[in-house]
Every structure is written in structure tokens, then in C-alpha cells.
Amino acid sequence: MSSPQPAARPRRSRRKLLLLAAGGLAALFVLIQVIPYGHDHANPPVTKAAVFASPAVRQIVADSCNDCHSNLTKWPWYTNVAPASWLTVNDVKEGRSRMNLSEWNKPQPELNEIVDVIQSGEMPPLKYKVMPNHAKARLSDQEKQQLIDGFRQVYATQTPTIGEGGGG
């Protein structure tokens, strides 16, 4: 006598599994929007701005540096949507803590550190440059040199306290 075979379980179709996974991801996306981190888009007051003499350098700084290294951050629509909001707020906090062009009366990094990260292409970072509204942050060698010269001028005429980085 043979034992009865268990009834075959119906197999879910691949399409049904994909729909369930997509639904789960959509629900997770909606759920993470209520997490309070990443919604603070405060721009503290400017206490002392670093002033660049050249209008061209001021434009490069506005296009490539200010969003993370000043209290003049522009907050595009996607900075209100998690997880982009989390990443952006974290980047701005970190950038302001390393160098803050709006708090030049607080400790700033040494000039050679700034020159090194600009020359190496580390600043502005790739994740910033790839965003469509940051296309102007993709600096040519000439713009990098103008920016470096601008920082040299600022450090010569508005020498900051050298320390562990900017305020913020």
C-alpha cells in the first residue's frame, strides 16, 4: 500500500510575484515618506560671507559650491522625497561642517586642502554633477583654475581661522 501523495500546491505565476514585489516596494516608498529625517531644509543666517572678487568665480561658486558649502542652499523638489531627502540633507550637513562660505568667521580648512580636492576633481562630487539641474557644476580645467585662484584671493584677503572645518 502506498501512501497518498500530498496535493500539489498551486504555483504563483512569475507575474503575480512581480506585482506583489512592486506593490511592496511602492508601500515601502510611501511609508518612508513619514520618517521625519531629511525634511529640515533650513538655511541658517549668513554670519560672514567669503567674498570672491571675480564675477566669474562668484558664478562658479554659486553653481558648484554653495549648495553644500554655504547657508544659501537651493532645495530642489526631490530633496522633499525620501530617500533623496536623507542623502541631500546629510551631504549639506557634512559639506557645511567641512567648509562654510557663509560662516567665514568660523574655522575653515587649509587652502591646500581646498586646492587638492578641486584639482583632483573630488569637488564637486560626481553624485552632485550628474544631477540635471547641476550641469554647470561640471568644471573645465580652466574653471577649476579660476576657482582655485579665487580661493587663493579669498584666503589672502579674508584669511579665515584654520581649523577643523566650517560651521553649520
pLDDT, tens digit (0-9, with 9 covering 90-100), for 50-65 = 999 999 999 999 999 9
Residue 112: predicted pLDDT: 96
Residue 12: predicted pLDDT: 65
Mean pLDDT of 114-143: 88
Residue 20: predicted pLDDT: 86
Neighbours of 140 (CB within 10 A): 8
Mean per-residue pLDDT over the chain, rounded: 88
Contact 92, 121 (CB under 8 A): no
**Weakest mean pLDDT among 51-55, 85-89, 143-147, 155-159:** 85-89
Q: Work out the angle at residue 136's Cα, subtended by the Cα atoms of residues 132 and 138, and round it to the nearest 5 degrees.
A: 95
Residue 104: predicted pLDDT: 97
Cell of 155: 584666503
Of 67 and 168, the structure prediction assigns the larger pLDDT to: 67
Give the global pTM. 0.78
Of 87 and 40, the structure prediction assigns the larger pLDDT to: 87
SS3 137: helix
Distance CA 45, CA 125 (A): 25
**41 Cβ partners below 8 Å, 6+ apart?**
73, 75, 79, 80, 89
User: Quick one: what percent of the chain has pLDDT higher than 70?
Assistant: 90
- Helix (H) / strand (E) containing 81: none
How does residue 136 score in pLDDT terms, banded at 50, 70 and 90?
Answer: confident
pLDDT for 165 beyond 90: no
**59 Cβ partners below 8 Å, 6+ apart?**
none
